[in-house]
Structure 1
Amino acid sequence: MPDKFLFADEAGCFTFNRGKNVSKYFILCTVSMDDCSLASDLLDLRRELAWNEKPLGEYFHASEDKQDIRDAVFETILKKPFNVQATIMEKSKAQPHVCASKERFYKTGWFFHFKHGASKEITKDNMALVTTACLGTRREQAAFKEAVDDVMKQTVKAAKWKTDFMPCAVDPCLQVADYCAWAIMRKWERGDTRSYDLMKDRVTYEYDVWEKGDKHHY
């Protein structure tokens, strides 16, 4: 059985132009933990909120939840230990060949993320399970999974590791990653640090891939 768990999600879109409702950044985020007891805590919270007739969606989803729901989720998850890693990609600075396809851009981001950030959460003695929120079409999901598997082979030195892809709704720990990715995105995209400040002491890695670049390709 695994003794290290990483749950991964992303924030932002794969649209490479400037326009309304188009994100400036694409952010990859992982949360690392030694056990998954947070999942039970979030299920208990959901039952409590349902009992109190709070407005709930199908699952906890930061961008859609009401603020009082977000407050309750952050209060709950911050009672347990976990670390957060984030890779920031300012999309307009990506060279054209990097954003030639969603899959290429996605794999590039995960390579930076695991090589410099997330892999440091995994020791050579760990049995690590990396669970990633699936996105896109079925064909894209297969390509994204292949990309993560390939990146893991290149960067992770664990005793043994496995990857899994599933919808965010299925595993509450993926919803933790969603909340963290959302908070980091709000900071970078809008300068809103309200939620980020709640969890900033958990962030062990936050890297702007093209910070030193000044050329924009669109």
Structure 2
Amino acid sequence: MPRLHLFADEAGTFDFRTGHNISKYFIVCTVVMPSFEVANDLLALKRSLAWADMPVGDYFHATTDRDAIRQQVFDAILKHDFSIQATIMEKRKAAPKIRPSDHRFYQYGWYYHFLHGMEKPLEACDELHVTAASIGTKKGQIAFTDAVRDVIRQTEGKKRKVRSSFWQCQSDPCLQVADYCTWAIQRKWERGDRAYFDLIADRITYEYDMFQKGTIYYYD
């Protein structure tokens, strides 16, 4: 298996406080696949849904798509070969020293995700293309991009040939696969809702609560 393709997304806010619409967890999620065939099926599904006069948008986005559309997206992507990895960070247990800035906290999650979660799914590949969904503003994206590239250089650079891209989710159907998987995992952790998580559970090779042994809460 000379080359694998990794698509990444994240879930959660960078607010380290409790409040309305503020996530309890920050999640880094990756989807590893050997081919892009799923992209063709998602484009075909979008056209089919449009023809059926279903409320489909410019691209698939799990947070805003209706349940009837979500189910068809999951049905489509589960016909293909891919694995899922997720690192879960309960933000109340994150010490201030590891979150001096948003991009540093983001980098922290990415580093431990690659350090502990990617050995098995990447063991057979000689080349790796990492594509991460853009995050933040265009100006702020530079810091997040640099953070991820630094992690990749530290963890993967000596093992295999690696390339990295940072694109808007709507630009690549494979990033929409990562979005859907990340959303399903977030629903489980934030709400205890396993309805969609159970659809992808057998694809998950790594799901780790990074701060599960932590006993200190840094805010209420």
- The answer to whether the Cα contact below 8 Å between 2:121 and 2:205 also exists between their aligned partners in 1 is no
User: Matched residue of 1:151: which SS?
Assistant: helix
Provide the C-alpha distance between the structure 2 equivalents of 1:165 and 1:139, rounded to a whole number of angstroms: 13
How does the TM-score come out when normalised to structure 2?
A: 0.96
2:3 corresponds to = 3
2:195 corresponds to = 194
Q: In structure 1, give the amino acid aligned to 2:62.
A: A
How does the TM-score come out when normalised to structure 1?
A: 0.97
Alignment of 1:67-86 (within 5 A): 67-86=67-86
**Does residue 65 of the first structure (1) align with residue 62 of the second (2)?**
no
CA drift at 1:159: 2.4
> What percentage of residue pairs aligned between the two structures are identical?
53
- The answer to whether the Cα contact below 8 Å between 2:6 and 2:130 also exists between their aligned partners in 1 is yes
1:47 corresponds to = 47
- State how many pairs are aligned: 217
1:30-85 alpha-carbon deviations (Å, 9 max, x no partner): 00000111111100000100000100122100010000000000000000010000
CA drift at 1:153: 1.2
CA drift at 1:138: 2.0
Alignment of 1:176-187 (within 5 A): 176-187=177-188
Q: Which runs of 4+ in 1 moved over 4 A?
A: none
CA drift at 1:123: 3.1
1:15 corresponds to = 15
1:174-197 alpha-carbon deviations (Å, 9 max, x no partner): 000000000000000000000000
1:33 corresponds to = 33
Q: 1:68 to 1:114 in 2, by over 3 A?
A: same
1:112-135 alpha-carbon deviations (Å, 9 max, x no partner): 111111243223752110000001
- The answer to whether the Cα contact below 8 Å between 2:4 and 2:125 also exists between their aligned partners in 1 is no
CA drift at 1:158: 3.6
Provide the C-alpha distance between the structure 1 equivalents of 2:118 and 2:65, rounded to a whole number of angstroms: 27
- The answer to whether the Cα contact below 8 Å between 1:39 and 1:171 also exists between their aligned partners in 2 is yes
Long gaps (5+) in structure 2: none
User: Matched residue of 1:88: which SS?
Assistant: strand
- The answer to whether the Cα contact below 8 Å between 2:3 and 2:125 also exists between their aligned partners in 1 is no
Provide the C-alpha distance between the structure 1 equivalents of 2:120 and 2:105, rounded to a whole number of angstroms: 22
Provide the C-alpha distance between the structure 2 equivalents of 1:140 and 1:118, rounded to a whole number of angstroms: 27
Provide the C-alpha distance between the structure 2 equivalents of 1:17 and 1:208, rounded to a whole number of angstroms: 19
Q: In structure 1, give the amino acid aligned to 2:187.
A: R
Q: In structure 1, give the amino acid aligned to 2:7.
A: F
- The answer to whether the Cα contact below 8 Å between 2:89 and 2:210 also exists between their aligned partners in 1 is yes
Provide the C-alpha distance between the structure 2 equivalents of 1:12 and 1:140, rounded to a whole number of angstroms: 17
1:141-177 alpha-carbon deviations (Å, 9 max, x no partner): 1111111111111111442001100000000000000
Provide the C-alpha distance between the structure 2 equivalents of 1:123 and 1:143, rounded to a whole number of angstroms: 29
2:99 corresponds to = 99
User: Matched residue of 2:108: which SS?
Assistant: helix
CA drift at 1:98: 1.3
1:1-22 alpha-carbon deviations (Å, 9 max, x no partner): x720000001111111000110
Provide the C-alpha distance between the structure 2 equivalents of 1:77 and 1:194, rounded to a whole number of angstroms: 16
Provide the C-alpha distance between the structure 1 equivalents of 2:152 and 2:99, rounded to a whole number of angstroms: 21
- The answer to whether the Cα contact below 8 Å between 1:124 and 1:159 also exists between their aligned partners in 2 is no
**Does residue 204 of the first structure (1) align with residue 205 of the second (2)?**
yes
Q: 1:119 to 1:145 in 2, by over 3 A?
A: farther
Provide the C-alpha distance between the structure 2 equivalents of 1:126 and 1:216, rounded to a whole number of angstroms: 41
Provide the C-alpha distance between the structure 2 equivalents of 1:161 and 1:206, rounded to a whole number of angstroms: 24
